[in-house]
A and B are shown apart, each in its own frame.
Chain A
């Protein structure tokens, strides 16, 4: 029990408490991961209010479908992140969203264009130390599309006008790059 007194819990502890429907664990989970998940969501949905709605929906879904999480198939965060991404993408593609927030689409496009424009900047020249910017621009472009814009790798290939194999390779290379920098 003393281990549980920490504000953060190890993943097995979290999973155990979550699957036993312990309400207190959701608070812990929220304090540990809400900002990371919100980071993912708000990169997909720029509109703050909607992004926060999706964050809430994400935690509701995590809470309600905790029993479906299988720790042999992957890490808890991966599972939660994919819930957040799927809900975000669903929201983005929903008719309601497209109809009621036409401006949002433009905003999205603008931010998308912004992301694209980063390619033209040399991060080293700008002195930005952030990992994302350390990525080679072509790798970052692919990663952004599939990770943040909710594109499948097939859609990303069409979008970037690249062969499917190239997109897959670039995704892998981007992630290897991330792994290297974290290590």
Chain B
């Protein structure tokens, strides 16, 4: 652009309008382009700006103090210091604070998660404990009933063993030629009673078998006494318990007798008697 044209451009007043912000965007761009290409235009703009600035300074009016207060409250800027050399320190002192807040937030978050996890574990544990406790109770009940069953069963088994051993013995004695079986029949006080006595012909030993007897139940104060009749005289062969005795062995060995014509059982007071009480003669049988 020629010097004349440049002068005319400057004098057209467009630069003043530019500084006053009174141009369209297109015109503004044109001025800016002119200013970047021509230092005269640029200088003129600066001079206009400085004039307007000084003009404004000359016509300055002090606003009330609370405008400043409200402004900095609104922007969230605190602190009275308006000198910028304070600037770097807040920047540095704020940053670690932010980091600390972050980390403490993180810690709180972690702790919160941990707390939730703990509560959840507690609930699960309690539930599991409750279920286990119930199952344990059930198991206790089962064990108790099984124990009862076992005891009953053991009772039955021992009863069977007891009877079995007695029966085995009876069979063995019946087969053997050594043993004589004396069958004693019920007498006046107990006609239905019966009992066997086994007498060894060789060593003269006498056995009775609880399985092979059917005597009335003796009371607490009495027990049975086995007698052998030797030449018309009763000889005691020993005492034995009630017919349903809980003795462990079904077979009981009595006293040996060399010879006898008959065997008899009487009910005697505990400990036995020297002579049989004939009124209490329960069973008797001859050899």
Query: Which A84-110 residues have C-beta < 8 A from chain B?
Result: 85-86
Rounded to whole angstroms, the CA-CA distance of A151 and B36 in the bound complex is 28
Whether A85 contacts B21 in the complex (CB less than 8 A), given A43-B59, A63-B75, comes out as yes
B23 to chain A, nearest CB (A): 9
Taken together as a complex, chains A and B put the C-alpha atoms of A4 and B111 apart, in Å, by 46
Contact of A81 among B16, B56, B71 (CB under 8 A): B56
Does the CB pair A7–B82 fall under 8 Å?
yes
A7/B63 contact (C-beta < 8 A), A77-B56, A152-B22 known:
no
- For A55, list chain B residues within 8 Å (CB): 63, 67
Residue tally, chain B, CB below 8 Å to A? 52
Contact yes or no, B84 A9, CB < 8 A: yes
Q: Hey, which chain B residues are within 8 Å of A42, CB to CB?
A: 61
Taking A40-B56, A60-B75, A77-B56 as contacts, is the C-beta distance between A34 and B50 under 8 angstroms?
Answer: no
**Contact flag A27-B82 (CB < 8 Å), given A36-B57, A39-B59, A60-B74:** yes
Give complex CA distance A134, B232 in Å.
179
Contact of A35 among B21, B60, B83 (CB under 8 A): B60
Q: Mark B16-58, 1 if CB is under 8 A from A, else 0.
A: 1101111000000000100010000000011111111111111
Asked if B113 CB lies within 8 Å of chain A CBs, one says no
Number of chain A residues close to chain B: CB under 8 A? 59
Secondary structure call for the B interface: helix
CB neighbours of A127 from chain B (8 A): none
Q: Check if B206 is an interface residue, CB within 8 A of chain A.
A: no
> Is the beta-carbon distance between A56 and B67 smaller than 8 angstroms?
yes
Mask of A14-40 contacts with B, CB within 8 angstroms, 1/0: 000100001111111011001111111
Partner of B45, one of A2, A22, A74, A146: A74
3 smallest beta-carbon distances between A and B, as pairs: A27-B82, A168-B13, A35-B60
Given A24-B84, A52-B63, 14 more pairs with CB closer than 8 A: A23-B90, A24-B87, A26-B75, A27-B80, A27-B81, A28-B82, A34-B68, A36-B59, A40-B56, A56-B67, A56-B70, A56-B71, A60-B74, A78-B49
Residues of B within 8 A of A (CB): 11-14, 16-17, 19-22, 32, 36, 45-64, 67-68, 70-72, 74-75, 77, 79-88, 90-91
Residues of A that sit less than 8 Å from B by CB = 1-2, 4-5, 7, 9, 13, 17, 22-28, 30-31, 34-40, 42-43, 48, 51-52, 55-56, 59-60, 63, 72-75, 77-78, 81-82, 85-86, 130-132, 146-147, 152-153, 168-169, 171-172, 175, 178-179, 182
